[in-house]
Amino acid sequence: MNNKTLILWVCIAALFCSCQKEVTEATTRNEYITVYETSPDEPLDAIQVPFAGVQDGQIHVLSNVDLQWKYFVNQTAKYKDWFTIKSVDEVEPGHMVITYDAESLLDLNSLEWRGGRLSLMCPDQSLGKFLAVDQGHDLIFAEPFDSESQGHLTLTGKQNYVTEEYPVLNTDYYDYISFNAWATTDNEFLSKSITLDVTISGGLFYDTGLTTFRVNVPVGDGPDKSNFKYLLIQGNGERLSANTKFTFSTANDDLVYVHVDNFSAYKVTEADIFNMFGDEDYLEEEESEWI
């Protein structure tokens, strides 16, 4: 190898090392934004709001830069200002606590998803952190029983009603169903123990591992949050599918009328399951035979 060739290779190597150093310096930053709920070791990427809402919920923000913040949530006639930031307090240098309120979904007789975003930014450093705000799940279908004479389903005595098959071919292991169930009767004695059985074919109820779930039904005048029911279902050895259907049945006295309305189903994603069950439970479910 002559001297010119040697010098050329030395220059190429030096240039390569210089580029590597520039890339490393450009991608390694001293500025940071860390968001957590209970421990900095468990950072947050989203605020998962429970169905029942929350008062004085809090998240912690650690940062070594001056931050600006703003948030927005989807607004409709039903979903007006359902999530609000109450305060942003600096408890010590570099440590902020954000306190928020979120209204209940259950007041709307629904689990339908609504969301938004919280933005934490430092424009001077071109640095930002964006957290999704999520409550509820995507609606798959809703059965308002409009074809029934009263606009809702009514059962008395030993009657049953079988829904149509799942309207949408689903590939989930889990879904939520929800409905309102209330009763009417002129017999005060019978009003104390009114029940409704919900039976699923092609699935199980998560809380019991059984195909039938019995709910207590309060006396009422119509659908409201006091008679709103929601149940998590899972596939029975396979994913939920278009063959999945439900039976509502009663075994009450003929003087008792059970009414059902707003029957709906909601898609539950793998991320939702992870957030609901936690790491260990989710991994155990993944390793079980039916998954």
Per-residue pLDDT of the chain (291 residues; tens, 9 = 90+): 555 555 545 455 555 555 554 444 445 778 899 999 999 999 999 999 999 999 999 999 999 998 988 888 887 767 788 999 999 999 999 999 999 999 999 999 999 999 999 999 999 888 999 999 999 999 988 887 888 888 999 999 999 999 877 666 556 678 999 999 999 999 888 888 899 999 999 889 999 999 999 999 999 999 999 999 999 998 877 778 777 889 999 999 999 999 999 999 998 877 777 776 664 444 444 333 322
DSSP assignment of 158-217 equals S-EEEPPSPSS----SEEEEEEEEEEEES-TTGGGS-EEEEEEES-EETTTSSSEEEEE-
Q: Of the candidates 289, 265, 282, which has an alpha carbon nearest to the alpha carbon of residue 169?
A: 265
* Alpha-carbon span 170 to 140, nearest angstrom: 9
* Alpha-carbon span 167 to 184, nearest angstrom: 30
Helix (H, G, I), strand (E, B) or coil at 18: helix
Summarize pLDDT for 220-237 with one digit per residue, the tens. Answer: 999 999 999 999 998 877
Q: Of the candidates 284, 263, 290, 287, which has an alpha carbon nearest to the alpha carbon of residue 173?
A: 290
Rg (CA), the chain: 27
User: 223 near 147, Cβ under 8 Å?
Assistant: no
- CA distances 25 to 29, 121, 132, Å, are 8, 22, 30
* Alpha-carbon span 99 to 96, nearest angstrom: 10
Summarize pLDDT for 104-143 with one digit per residue, the tens. Answer: 999 999 999 999 999 999 998 889 999 999 999 999 888 8
CATH architecture assignment, domain 138-287: Sandwich (2.60)
Retrieve residue 192's tokens. Answer: 């104390």
* Alpha-carbon span 71 to 81, nearest angstrom: 11
- CA distances 202 to 142, 244, 272, 287, Å, are 19, 5, 22, 21
Q: Of the candidates 39, 91, 92, 94, which has an alpha carbon nearest to the alpha carbon of residue 62?
A: 94
pTM score, whole prediction: 0.79
For CATH 2.60.40.10, list the domain ranges present in the chain.
33-135
Partnered with residue 258 across adjacent β-strands are: 155, 183
Q: Which residues have a Cβ under 8 Å from the Cβ of 93 and sit 6 or more positions away?
A: none
* 3-state DSSP of 230-258: EEEEECCCCCCCCCCEEEEECCCCCCEEE
Multiple choice CATH, 33-135, 2.60.40.10, 3.40.718.10, 2.60.120.10, 3.30.450.20: 2.60.40.10
